[in-house]
């Protein structure tokens, strides 16, 4: 046995010197006296030495020779003596031998009292004389039979009951080796843990070097290079039996210097690992999960890990060894259920406050709630981890966890035994295509770099693509060493159609441009869009065959190219530029930032000097206001170096166009500078009208409820308060000051679910849910935007009730809403006593929207009472019916006095997810993002306000969503307009008007006042509602109001005629009506009298090229009212089958963690088939998408994406005892919202993740055939 010598420090005993030395014992069953160990014991002092006894030691003999007398021997187990007197040492000791003269012998026997047991024993050698003595100390032990034989069954958790809340994880890992993790506390009470690998030596395990770490950081901030590893002493773990052992720790000098003392745990087994048995112990249970016991870690995060012990068929023990955000050691976990392949630690504890050493007191330990984490075993070697913890730890997810150790003796990992498979398929719309040369090398290559290689497209088309101005330099990329600056497409386009290019995650460093060339004449483009914003757009003037060119001006990334149906007003394009713009010579207008901002130039004092540094001639203006410059030859020459384009494709050959392009390049370059606030060419003054709110053209759901005409009657809802009981409302610019945070409250009581660091408080902001990840839903913010987004402010989108005030009442946290929290929100709304302590009437709301639901068979009594009290205060309660596609009862929609709202789609049918049944009162648009039935190029969702918190700080954004959650705020917004028109409107009057048919359009055809289970009393109609409110108010007669029914007509590819009814929804006359269409292929036949009645629409396809077409019919009354009808048709048939989107990766996602657990991929036109084999029973989610930029993530902005069963309702896949074949689901070419996000939000990054996803999105698991 190796000899170990450690100096522990000084303890005075007249004075006393304390030292420690391991005595050497010869090998063999019976030990004779060992070699002499010489000790010099100071006068009136004692030395401490230790010996580790085996489990079969019957007698230990300690003999002193060479003394002059007054040497005493005292023996104790576990830790060194600490006394400062002979009497105190005797009290500590289990055995002693004391004489006044001569040598000394101490015998300790197993049969004695106390019993001699295995483990570490400490011998105090006392010199009671007045002079130092040098003596020889010999040790021998007598053994009987064989020592306890260690085996695999020693694995488990060990602790000393009297020293609870600390212990040792022991893993027998085979080959005579073991892994130990001692989880404990520092001497000052902070958490600590040691790790060590040791060797089996008979009945004990010797760990010669314990390692203590520091410097790591929890979560994404973890840097393995910052982890410092320190040797912290040694450990010997001796065993008496399967369930009794002694763990003896000896600090080294570094540890002792920081207050660490020798310590021994008289350990008992706390847990046994399933599937492993001790010799002579109970038989091992063979559980499917037993093979996952062991240590798990992420190689890229070396220095932290997870210890997993399977305790039974459905029970496990997991502890996570990591660090605090400030770099101190931390450990947390507990016993948790095993559900299928996941261990769900939903109430992890983090003990603190213990003090390491002999004086450890468990009463000092505080068990702090840490949060929740889940470990999902993907296969025998890989796992996924997701955490949601309290501050300061926060959220974290890791999909790269691997097995570090397997326990010896455990049953083999059985995750491929008796498992099943999931088969799935997905398809894209026929219009979908993909760029032929994307950065993903696994997608088939079809180069489209010039006119000769032009890629043919159908019309309409939605084309995700990738371009790069320079080689990426990334190993594994298709364009690692070669650029891909041009993508060229060939397509037949009709007059009035728009070609749009949306740049994913746009910035000044990622800038793409769009060009249109006539087939047969490629010397110069016919049109160009060369701006600096996220959207480029060209409206085609004449029908024909064209080349569409996408050019990477700067940077690399994804894009979405669309050829849409046109026929409607195009939204404004931010940062627009074109070489075809009409401008005044070579002049440009610059607004500089304040002096000192930026780095370019030496003299910032004048506009002249700044311009001269750039080769500009100053014409007018000064710093602090716009400055007019003329571009000199030098500036134009610098900017035009590549104006002709890259080799293989010349952009311009005409000298005038080439000069114009040089001007454009100057502007693009200046816009990227830090010292320039804005710069534009000096235009000739022509402008193009665009909708005031750029997102309004995509809010198809407003014309559906006749909102434009209603706003003519009641232009705002100024001062009307609408309470939104939801996830809170984030301060979005489009909500402005209309959110009354001073009147709201946060009732999410669970601090973990609240995600704002505490329980209930007066802050009703929405911190986001980040359920699995990358991006929160901001559900309440979306609802609030539909109700009251600012309108006619030339940005963003529009709300139903401009000027309404939103009272945010937060009840929904990251894990949903508790019934008690819901009750508190309603008590607060009703002005009744509640947990906030507020019952003031200042928060009085006229309307409340509840886009939430509980699947319970009845409305709880306290909830019903709260609604009754709210109605008594005049509040009109509106609630979503639910997204379960059934007629089951749910509350609050089913509670008495609550208006329940079902959802319709773009063609006025019940949305496929919408609940129905006897409690439905009214219907409103809720959308369906899985389709694009109105052929506007965007998913048919409800567009409203949200935030993107995948970036820091979070950024205001806009998204299409669907659900009855989106339908309910349409009704709430209309109710707010009614309250504005009639402030005295009561809930009872609203109910009576609804039941009479005065507020709705009858969709079922069963009569205006007859309720049905799909739509209630019909589709909410804002014009009828405002008219009824004015009538109830006794005000002036409503003027004539034109309303078209329906507001959208789709003729497909064969029908040539359609009809709509024009009705007077007001009380005054409408008189004669003037009608016009914005496309020459549309003609109108009015009814007799030329006003109200049935109008006929005819279309003429003669001479139109195959494409999708759209038109708008405008009807104006001489009395001032107007109505609009959207018309769509197609020339030519749509190709059969689905579109081609290149390589599609399907990820099977663990529902517990939201992380990918398996992957399949396919590349076929039309339908993509995927099979996930060898899967455990359990609950999964399924997402599929492309990875055009080859960053390892699917469904990024500008990439194709699909979710099973649809974007409308992402649903769980429950795999049982049989194989599962799923229904086909759809793939969306525009990973939803990139193009619409560029048009409506004018935002930078716009990459929604509709499933719970980890930070950064869904990463493709590493597979050899992928990378």
Over residues 1069-1109, the pLDDT tens digits come to 777 888 999 899 999 999 988 888 899 999 999 888 887 78
Two tokens, residue 296: 């798990």
Average pLDDT over residues 220-226: 94
What is d(CA 495, CA 498) in angstroms, rounded to the nearest whole number?
A: 9
The pLDDT value given to residue 773: 52
Q: Which residues contact residue 58 at a Cβ distance below 8 angstroms, ignoring those fewer than 6 apart?
A: 109, 110, 111, 116, 141, 142, 143, 144
Over residues 969-980, the pLDDT tens digits come to 999 999 999 999
Over residues 527-553, the pLDDT tens digits come to 999 999 899 999 888 888 999 999 999
What is d(CA 164, CA 185) in angstroms, rounded to the nearest whole number?
A: 12
Over residues 1020-1029, the pLDDT tens digits come to 999 999 999 9
The pLDDT value given to residue 543: 83
The pLDDT value given to residue 353: 96
The pLDDT value given to residue 757: 74
Average pLDDT over residues 304-320: 90
Q: Would you say residue 109 has pLDDT above 80?
A: yes
What is d(CA 942, CA 700) in angstroms, rounded to the nearest whole number?
A: 8
Please compute, for residue 874, the number of CA atoms within 13 A of its CA located in the half-sphere on the CB side.
Answer: 15
Over residues 1027-1053, the pLDDT tens digits come to 999 989 886 666 777 888 888 888 888
Measure Cα distances from 51 to 41, 60, 910, 1072 in Å: 18, 10, 81, 111
Q: Cα–chain-centroid distance for residue 54?
A: 54
What is d(CA 963, CA 550) in angstroms, rounded to the nearest whole number?
A: 36
Q: Which residues contact residue 85 at a Cβ distance below 8 angstroms, ignoring those fewer than 6 apart?
A: 13
The pLDDT value given to residue 1177: 80
Helix (H, G, I), strand (E, B) or coil at 204: strand
Q: Is residue 1061 within 8 Å of 1001, Cβ to Cβ?
A: no
Query: The dihedral of CA 1063, 1067, 1070, 1071: what is its sign?
Result: positive
Q: Would you say residue 1202 has pLDDT above 60?
A: yes
Q: Are strands 366-379 and 382-389 parallel, antiparallel or unpaired?
A: antiparallel
What phi and psi, each to the nearest 5 degrees, are found at residue 568?
-125, 165
What phi and psi, each to the nearest 5 degrees, are found at residue 87?
-65, -40
Helix 964-981 vs helix 1022-1033: crossing angle, to nearest 10: 30
Looking up tokens 């109105």 gives 934
What is d(CA 189, CA 165) in angstroms, rounded to the nearest whole number?
A: 12
User: Which of 118-127, 332-341, 406-415 has the weakest average pLDDT?
Assistant: 406-415
Q: Is residue 922 within 8 Å of 1000, Cβ to Cβ?
A: yes
The pLDDT value given to residue 1255: 38
Element (DSSP H or E) covering residue 870: helix 861-872
Q: Which residues contact residue 136 at a Cβ distance below 8 angstroms, ignoring those fewer than 6 apart?
A: 36, 37, 38, 39, 64, 65, 66
Measure Cα distances from 1109 to 313, 551, 694 in Å: 62, 27, 21
The pLDDT value given to residue 644: 43
Q: Are strands 1073-1077 and 1082-1085 parallel, antiparallel or unpaired?
A: unpaired
Helix (H, G, I), strand (E, B) or coil at 634: helix
Q: What percent of the chain has pLDDT over 70?
A: 86
Mean predicted lDDT score pLDDT of the chain: 84
Q: Would you say residue 1006 has pLDDT above 90?
A: no
Q: Is residue 808 within 8 Å of 721, Cβ to Cβ?
A: no
What is d(CA 504, CA 1234) in angstroms, rounded to the nearest whole number?
A: 6
Q: Would you say residue 684 has pLDDT above 50?
A: no
Confidence of residue 279 (pLDDT cuts 50, 70, 90): low
Element (DSSP H or E) covering residue 992: helix 987-995
Bigger pLDDT: 1162 vs 1068: 1162
Over residues 842-873, the pLDDT tens digits come to 558 999 999 998 887 778 888 988 999 999 99
Rounded-to-10 torsion of CA 808, 813, 814, 815? -140
Average pLDDT over residues 792-812: 89
Q: Would you say residue 688 has pLDDT above 70?
A: no
Q: Which residues contact residue 791 at a Cβ distance below 8 angstroms, ignoring those fewer than 6 apart?
A: 692, 693, 711, 798, 799, 802
Looking up tokens 């007191």 gives 361
Q: Would you say residue 944 has pLDDT above 80?
A: yes
Q: Would you say residue 167 has pLDDT above 80?
A: yes
Q: Is residue 1138 within 8 Å of 380, Cβ to Cβ?
A: no
Please compute, for residue 306, the number of CA atoms within 13 A of its CA located in the half-sphere on the CB side.
Answer: 32
Average pLDDT over residues 220-247: 94
What is d(CA 915, CA 881) in angstroms, rounded to the nearest whole number?
A: 6
Average pLDDT over residues 132-160: 91
Instruction: Beginning with the edge strand found earlier in the chain, give each strand of the sheet holding 498-503 in spatial order.
Output: 461-468, 556-563, 498-503, 535-539
What is d(CA 1172, CA 1154) in angstroms, rounded to the nearest whole number?
A: 17
Query: The dihedral of CA 21, 22, 25, 30: what is its sign?
Result: positive
What is d(CA 1042, CA 1062) in angstroms, rounded to the nearest whole number?
A: 7
Q: Cα–chain-centroid distance for residue 91?
A: 61
Q: Is residue 101 within 8 Å of 51, Cβ to Cβ?
A: no
Two tokens, residue 1091: 């006003």
Over residues 335-383, the pLDDT tens digits come to 999 887 789 898 999 999 999 998 899 999 999 999 999 998 877 888 8
Average pLDDT over residues 590-614: 67
What is d(CA 487, CA 777) in angstroms, rounded to the nearest whole number?
A: 35
The pLDDT value given to residue 1238: 40
Confidence of residue 699 (pLDDT cuts 50, 70, 90): confident
The pLDDT value given to residue 937: 66
Q: What percent of the chain has pLDDT over 90?
A: 48
Q: Would you say residue 666 has pLDDT above 70?
A: yes
Q: Would you say residue 451 has pLDDT above 90?
A: yes
Over residues 176-215, the pLDDT tens digits come to 999 999 999 999 999 999 999 999 999 999 999 999 999 9
The pLDDT value given to residue 1050: 82
User: Which of 29-33, 590-594, 680-684, 721-725 has the weakest average pLDDT?
Assistant: 29-33
Over residues 917-931, the pLDDT tens digits come to 989 999 999 998 888
Two tokens, residue 23: 């005595």
The pLDDT value given to residue 287: 52
Instruction: Beginning with the edge strand found earlier in the chain, give each strand of the sheet holding 1042-1045 in spatial order.
Output: 1042-1045, 1057-1064, 1093-1099, 1082-1085
The pLDDT value given to residue 32: 34
Q: Is residue 693 within 8 Å of 793, Cβ to Cβ?
A: yes
Helix (H, G, I), strand (E, B) or coil at 288: helix
Looking up tokens 């085609």 gives 540
The pLDDT value given to residue 1245: 25
Q: Would you say residue 690 has pLDDT above 60?
A: no
The pLDDT value given to residue 1005: 86
Q: Would you say residue 575 has pLDDT above 60?
A: yes
What is d(CA 110, CA 113) in angstroms, rounded to the nearest whole number?
A: 8
Structural domains of the chain, ranges and CATH numbers in brackets: 5-143 (2.60.120.380), 152-403 (no CATH), 429-563 (2.60.120.380), 583-643+652-682 (no CATH), 696-1020 (3.40.50.200), 1042-1131 (2.60.40.3450), 1141-1259 (no CATH)
Q: Would you say residue 729 has pLDDT above 90?
A: yes
Q: What is the 3-state secondary structure (H, E, C) of 689-738?
A: CCCCCCCHHHCCHHHHCCHHHHHHHCCCCCCCEEEEEECCCCCCCCCHHH
Two tokens, residue 1146: 């399907």
Q: Would you say residue 1253 has pLDDT above 70?
A: no
The pLDDT value given to residue 686: 26
Over residues 11-38, the pLDDT tens digits come to 222 223 333 333 333 233 233 345 578 8
What phi and psi, each to the nearest 5 degrees, are found at residue 660?
-60, -40
Bigger pLDDT: 605 vs 891: 891
Two tokens, residue 729: 């409302």
Q: Name which of 447, 448, 470, 501 is nearest 642 in CA terms.
A: 470
Cis, bond preceding 114 (omega within 30 deg of 0):
yes
Predicted TM-score (pTM) above 0.75:
no
Over residues 1109-1152, the pLDDT tens digits come to 888 899 888 776 778 898 888 887 655 445 789 999 999 988 87
The pLDDT value given to residue 1254: 39
Bigger pLDDT: 321 vs 1074: 321
352 beta partners: 366
């Amino acid at each position: 046995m190796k000899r170990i010598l450690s100096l522990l420090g000084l303890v005075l005993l007249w004075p006393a010197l304390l030292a420690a030395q391991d005595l050497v014992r010869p090998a063999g069953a019976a030990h004779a006296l060992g070699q002499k160990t010489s000790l010099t014991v100071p006068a009136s002092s004692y030395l401490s030495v230790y010996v580790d006894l085996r489990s079969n030691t019957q007698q230990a003999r300690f003999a002193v020779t060479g003394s002059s007398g007054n040497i005493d021997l005292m023996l104790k187990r576990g830790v060194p003596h600490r006394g400062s007197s002979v009497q105190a040492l005797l009290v500590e000791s289990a055995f002693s031998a004391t004489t006044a003269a001569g040598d000394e012998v101490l015998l300790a026997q197993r049969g004695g009292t106390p019993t001699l047991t295995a483990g570490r024993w400490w011998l105090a050698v006392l010199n009671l004389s007045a002079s130092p003595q040098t003596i020889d100390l010999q040790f021998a032990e007598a053994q009987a039979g064989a020592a306890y034989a260690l085996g695999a069954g020693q694995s488990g958790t060990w602790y000393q009951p009297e020293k609870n809340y600390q212990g040792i994880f022991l893993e027998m890992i085979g080959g005579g080796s073991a892994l130990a993790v001692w989880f404990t506390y520092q001497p000052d009470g902070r958490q600590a843990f040691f790790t060590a690998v040791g060797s089996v030596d008979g009945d004990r395990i010797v760990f010669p070097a314990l390692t203590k770490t520091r410097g790591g950081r929890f979560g994404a901030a973890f840097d393995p290079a910052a982890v410092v590893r320190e040797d912290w002493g040694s450990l010997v773990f001796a065993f008496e039996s399967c369930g009794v052992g002694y763990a003896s720790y000896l600090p080294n000098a570094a540890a002792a210097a920081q207050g660490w003392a020798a310590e021994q745990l008289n350990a008992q087994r706390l847990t046994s690992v399933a599937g492993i048995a001790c010799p002579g112990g109970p038989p091992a249970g063979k559980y499917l999960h037993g093979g996952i016991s062991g240590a798990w870690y992420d190689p890229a995060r070396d220095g932290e890990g997870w210890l997993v012990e399977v305790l039974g068929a459905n029970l496990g023990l997991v502890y996570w060894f990591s660090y605090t955000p400030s770099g101190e050691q931390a450990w947390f976990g507990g016993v948790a259920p095993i559900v299928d392949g996941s261990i769900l630690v939903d109430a992890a504890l983090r003990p603190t406050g213990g003090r390491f050493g002999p004086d450890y007191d468990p009463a000092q330990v505080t068990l702090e709630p840490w949060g929740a984490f889940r470990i999902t075993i993907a296969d025998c070697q890989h796992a996924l981890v997701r955490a949601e913890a309290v501050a300061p730890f926060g959220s974290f997810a890791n999909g790269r966890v691997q097995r570090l150790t397997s326990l010896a003796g455990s049953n083999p990992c059985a995750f491929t035994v008796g498992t099943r498979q999931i088969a799935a398929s997905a398809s894209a719309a026929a219009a979908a295509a993909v760029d032929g040369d994307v950065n993903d090398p696994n997608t088939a290559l079809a180069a489209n770099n010039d006119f000769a290689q032009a890629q043919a497209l159908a019309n309409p088309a939605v084309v995700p693509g990738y371009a790069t101005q320079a080689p990426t330099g990334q190993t594994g990329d298709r364009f690692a060493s070669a650029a891909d600056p041009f993508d060229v497409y060939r397509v037949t386009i009709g007059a009035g159609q728009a070609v749009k290019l949306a740049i994913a995650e746009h910035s000044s460093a990622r800038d793409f441009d769009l060009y249109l060339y006539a087939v047969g004449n490629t010397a110069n483009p016919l049109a160009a869009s060369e701006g600096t914003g996220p959207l480029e757009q060209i409206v085609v003037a004449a029908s024909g065959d064209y080349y569409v060119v996408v050019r990477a001006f700067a940077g690399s990334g994804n894009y979405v190219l669309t050829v849409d149906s046109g026929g409607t007003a195009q939204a404004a394009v931010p940062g627009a530029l074109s070489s075809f713009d009409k401008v005044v010579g070579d002049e440009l207008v610059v607004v500089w930032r304040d002096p000192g901002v930026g780095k370019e130039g030496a003299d910032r004092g004048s506009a002249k000097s700044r311009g001269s540094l750039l080769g500009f001639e100053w014409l007018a203006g000064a710093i602090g206001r716009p400055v007019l410059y003329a571009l000199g030859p030098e500036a134009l020459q610098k900017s035009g170096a590549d104006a002709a384009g890259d080799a293989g494709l010349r952009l311009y050959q005409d000298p005038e166009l080439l000069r114009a392009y040089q001007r454009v390049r100057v502007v693009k370059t200046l816009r990227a500078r830090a010292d320039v606030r804005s710069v534009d060419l000096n235009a000739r003054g022509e402008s193009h009208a665009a909708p005031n709110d750029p997102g309004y053209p995509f809010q198809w759901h407003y014309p559906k409820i006749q909102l434009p005409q209603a706003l003519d009657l009641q232009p705002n809802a100024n001062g009307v308060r609408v309470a939104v009981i939801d996830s809170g409302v984030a301060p979005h610019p489009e909500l402005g000051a209309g959110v009354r945070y001073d009147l709201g409250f946060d009732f999410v009581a669970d601090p973990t679910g609240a995600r704002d660091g505490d329980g209930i408080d007066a802050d009703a902001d929405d911190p986001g849910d980040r359920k699995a990840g990358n991006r929160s839903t901001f559900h309440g913010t979306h609802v609030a935007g539909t109700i009251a987004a600012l309108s006619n402010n030339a940005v963003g989108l529009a709300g139903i009730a401009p000027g309404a005030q939103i009272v945010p009442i937060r009840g929904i946290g990251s894990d949903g809403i508790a019934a008690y929290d819901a009750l508190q929100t309603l008590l607060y709304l009703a002005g009744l006593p509640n947990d906030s302590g507020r019952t003031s009437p200042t928060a009085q709301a006229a309307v409340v929207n509840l886009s939430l639901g509980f699947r319970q068979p009845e409305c709880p009594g306290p909830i019903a009472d709260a609604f009754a009290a709210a109605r008594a205060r005049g509040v009109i309660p509106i609630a979503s019916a639910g997204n379960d596609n059934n007629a089951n009862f749910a509350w609050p929609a089913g509670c008495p006095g609550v208006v329940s709202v079902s959802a319709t789609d773009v063609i006025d049918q019940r949305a496929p997810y919408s609940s129905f049944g006897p409690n439905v009162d009214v219907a409103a648009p809720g959308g369906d993002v899985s389709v694009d039935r109105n052929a506007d190029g965007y998913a048919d969702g409800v567009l409203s306000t949200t935030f993107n918190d995948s970036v820091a700080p979070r950024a205001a954004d806009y998204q299409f969503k669907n659900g009855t959650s989106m339908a309910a705020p349409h009704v709430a917004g209309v109710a707010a307009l009614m309250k504005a028109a009639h402030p005295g409107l009561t809930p009872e009057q609203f109910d009576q008007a609804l039941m009479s048919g005065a507020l709705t359009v009858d969709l079922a055809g069963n009569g205006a006042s007859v309720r049905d289970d799909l739509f209630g009393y019909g589709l909410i109609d804002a014009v009828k509602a405002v008219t009824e409110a004015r009538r109830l108010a006794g005000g002036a007669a409503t003027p004539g109001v034109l309303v078209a029914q329906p507001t959208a007509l789709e003729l497909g590819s064969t029908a040539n005629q359609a009809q709509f009814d024009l009705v007077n929804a007001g009380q005054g006359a409408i008189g004669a009506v003037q009608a016009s269409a914005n496309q020459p292929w549309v003609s109108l036949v009015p009814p007799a009298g030329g006003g109200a009645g049935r109008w006929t629409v005819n279309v003429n396809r003669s001479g139109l090229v195959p494409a999708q077409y759209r038109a708008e019919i405008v009807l104006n009354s001489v009395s001032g009212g107007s109505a609009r009808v959207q018309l769509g048709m197609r020339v030519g048939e749509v190709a059969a089958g689905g579109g081609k989107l290149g390589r599609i990766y399907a990820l099977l996602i663990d529902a517990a963690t939201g992380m990918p657990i398996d992957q399949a991929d396919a590349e076929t036109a039309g339908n993509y088939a995927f099979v996930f084999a060898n899967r455990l029973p359990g609950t999964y989610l399924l997402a599929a998408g492309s990875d055009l930029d080859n960053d390892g993530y699917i469904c990024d902005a500008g990439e194709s994406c699909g979710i099973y069963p649809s974007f409308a309702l992402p649903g769980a896949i429950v795999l049982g005892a049989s194989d599962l074949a799923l229904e086909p689901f759809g793939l969306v070419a525009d990973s939803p919202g990139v193009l619409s996000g560029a048009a409506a939000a004018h935002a930078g990054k716009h990459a929604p993740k509709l499933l719970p996803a980890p930070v950064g999105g869904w990463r493709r698991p590493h597979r050899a055939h992928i990378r």
